[in-house]
Structure 1
């Protein structure tokens, strides 16, 4: 009997890892559910391809747009009367990327062997987020797969649009910084060395700040390989740090000291939380399962910890809105109306309404932050230009003053 390595979440949000002997991935998932555990990742021990996870699906992961197209097409096929197997057979020849094509082939193979679609995706957590697995599982168990795919399509589409909004807002500041870096490199590599030779030939007195500029120019010109290595180490190190738990906590705490950035992060976290909760509950997931998924998708360590704490109180019998209200991270306006929705039985509608509201607020806060960032970048550029101009003009002024 094969052995499977699993990673699951309990009702309190704690991660549990271990091994289990079973005939298939489906059997492992069933045993975990009997213990009220939520499967996150399952792989067969000793299988190299499985252990490598996403590397078996090609050179890259699925993009957000590919996920949306897959879910949307699958729902359309089911509405047209096709079975899951027939739908996958229709999708495989038209799959544009190797990642999506291999995913469909594997899903079809597992489906033929009696493994549900959600179990296939549960074994590949990097391909689809946990909310996709949860919604598909509920749809399969309740016979409402088409409705679950509809909710999932709305969720993925809004998340994709939100991500595009954030990226679009960062384009202009990134262009400004790129142009500034290119300009500084050109000046230090070409213009400053020529001026240094000129001042040396004239015998002009070199001020300390001018000498500093010359030293920076020499360091850039004569240590190109070292400069590239330093930049690469800094970029890769920063990237690894930002992806670590310590890095995420540091960014979360540091962002609280910048009001405009704090507002953007808070609004984005609330958008992800309310949309994940609303979409999950609307698809049939329990509030506890929805909170487990939301804690993984919220994107901020402080909110993740607050959701886990609220989940523990809900498990003890406290109302969800009241449990969230004990954290200062969730606005009183949100928790008050959630309490009304909780009593009226319209929980998911209230969450989705707030998701739309906070998305609009996030866009406004993002525009404000980008305006402030543009001003800061322009001010820094102005300071750099003024420093370079002063460093170049001061020796000339000194030289002609001695004539």
Structure 2
């Protein structure tokens, strides 16, 4: 049990404060609610035993998962549509949040709302959780009186994003398991199996065939220099991570990802589908075109494609049509460009971009289904080659020794 200090307002609107003992902040908020006290701030009081960082705090989640944002958007849509005041809705969701981090953020948002800030401004205080697209959608919803619609659109968009990530994980799960199994098998062979055979061959003093010599040399290198390999791999990973996190490095890496065999086209279609869906949602919500293109270029998930969208924004700013600037980027297929042309002519560009997003989603589904069929024979061939090399390296000397004994 920890001790918490609190500050709030009672049913008469008077500010009250005090402290109480409870297992968590949520319990304190519930107890204050039962007393008809609206909590403004709840903080854990420092104690001699609480000076050290607790285990659960040390390993607590530092980010809000996409699932939590989906649930939050759905709940806010339902509460807003039902006419529940925003502050009361935030306090209710705070008490029922799945993670302490989300509960803390919603409590801070509720505090900002009580101080007079708008919902978009209060959410903007947490940029690592609520991105620019989320903030702008809420801002437009507040200004137009359609906050429930904004939350519904956000929940639909986040749900599609979650489904896309789930499909990618399902498609890559089997290849990753096979690759991990191959790495484990190679490690066992190099550290345990080959050294045992090499000791036997050394005692016999026979001339070894070249496959066996390569296997023994490789095993000796693994056994004697495994620490050096780990250091090189770790240093390379850190250097690559730092380079990718730079502006130029991230741009080059995202451009290279789009050219990878088998998966490059999938990455491109996922990014373009995300662009089309986000563009459609924000345009239909009433966000200005220039602002939409600027936001989407930063949230599309690929810096190379984001740079192309930024070129579209610059072209529209100079007075070019959206169709011409999109064609100049050479990112879209002729079919998508035709749909874009019809959307500009009819003024239903948001509806047409929604169809473009659906088109890319169907393409991604087809590519992900085909990915497993394309990777499986490659993995089978790789496994066959590995087994063949091991078999030749281990059994050729045995066969040679058998022939010598027979002769």
Q: How far is 1:390 from its partner?
A: 1.0
Alpha-carbon distance in 2 for matches of 1:318, 1:332: 19
Alpha-carbon distance in 2 for matches of 1:245, 1:314: 24
Helix, strand or coil: the match of 1:326? helix
1:399 is matched with 401
Matches within 5 A, 1:156-305: 156-255=158-257, 257-258=259-260, 260-305=262-307
Conserved 8 A contact 2:280-2:349: yes
* Distance change in 2, residues 1:290/1:316 (3 Å): same
Conserved 8 A contact 2:138-2:151: yes
Conserved 8 A contact 1:57-1:98: no
Alpha-carbon distance in 2 for matches of 1:320, 1:327: 11
Deviations 1:340-379 (A, max 9, x none): 2222221111111111111010121122233322322222
Conserved 8 A contact 1:260-1:368: no
Helix, strand or coil: the match of 2:310? helix
Deviations 1:122-150 (A, max 9, x none): 23222122210110111112221111111
In structure 2, the gaps of 5 or more residues are 1-56
Alpha-carbon distance in 2 for matches of 1:249, 1:367: 28
Provide TM-score, normalisation by structure 1. Answer: 0.81
Alpha-carbon distance in 2 for matches of 1:189, 1:372: 32
Matched, 1:65 2:39: no
| Partner of residue 91 from structure 1, selected from 88, 93, 107 | 93
When the two chains are superposed, the root-mean-square deviation of aligned CA atoms in Å is 2.3
Alpha-carbon distance in 1 for matches of 2:396, 2:167: 46
In structure 1, the gaps of 5 or more residues are 1-54
Conserved 8 A contact 1:136-1:145: yes
Q: How far is 1:179 from its partner?
A: 0.9
Give every structure 1 segment of 4 or more consecutive aligned residues whose post-TM-superposition deviation is greater than 6 Å: none
Deviations 1:211-231 (A, max 9, x none): 232232233334444444333
Alpha-carbon distance in 1 for matches of 2:262, 2:305: 18
Alpha-carbon distance in 2 for matches of 1:246, 1:365: 29
Alpha-carbon distance in 2 for matches of 1:205, 1:56: 58
| Partner of residue 331 from structure 2, selected from 320, 329, 332 | 329
| Partner of residue 79 from structure 1, selected from 78, 81, 97 | 81
Provide TM-score, normalisation by structure 2. Answer: 0.80
Matches within 5 A, 1:103-182: 103-182=105-184
Q: Which stretch has the larger CA shift, 311-320 or 373-382?
A: 373-382
Conserved 8 A contact 2:171-2:371: no
Conserved 8 A contact 2:70-2:158: yes
Alpha-carbon distance in 1 for matches of 2:62, 2:300: 24
Alpha-carbon distance in 1 for matches of 2:370, 2:76: 39
Deviations 1:169-221 (A, max 9, x none): 11000110111111111111211111111111222212343223223223333
Deviations 1:143-178 (A, max 9, x none): 211111111111111111111111111100011011
Conserved 8 A contact 1:57-1:99: no
Helix, strand or coil: the match of 1:303? helix
Q: How far is 1:76 from its partner?
A: 0.9
Conserved 8 A contact 1:205-1:398: no
Q: How far is 1:256 from its partner?
A: 5.2
Alpha-carbon distance in 1 for matches of 2:315, 2:252: 27
Q: How far is 1:259 from its partner?
A: 5.3
Q: How far is 1:245 from its partner?
A: 3.3
Helix, strand or coil: the match of 2:329? coil
* Distance change in 2, residues 1:290/1:300 (3 Å): same
Q: How far is 1:257 from its partner?
A: 4.5
Deviations 1:291-324 (A, max 9, x none): 1121112223332121111111111222222221
* Distance change in 2, residues 1:104/1:257 (3 Å): closer
Number of aligned pairs?
349
Helix, strand or coil: the match of 2:61? coil
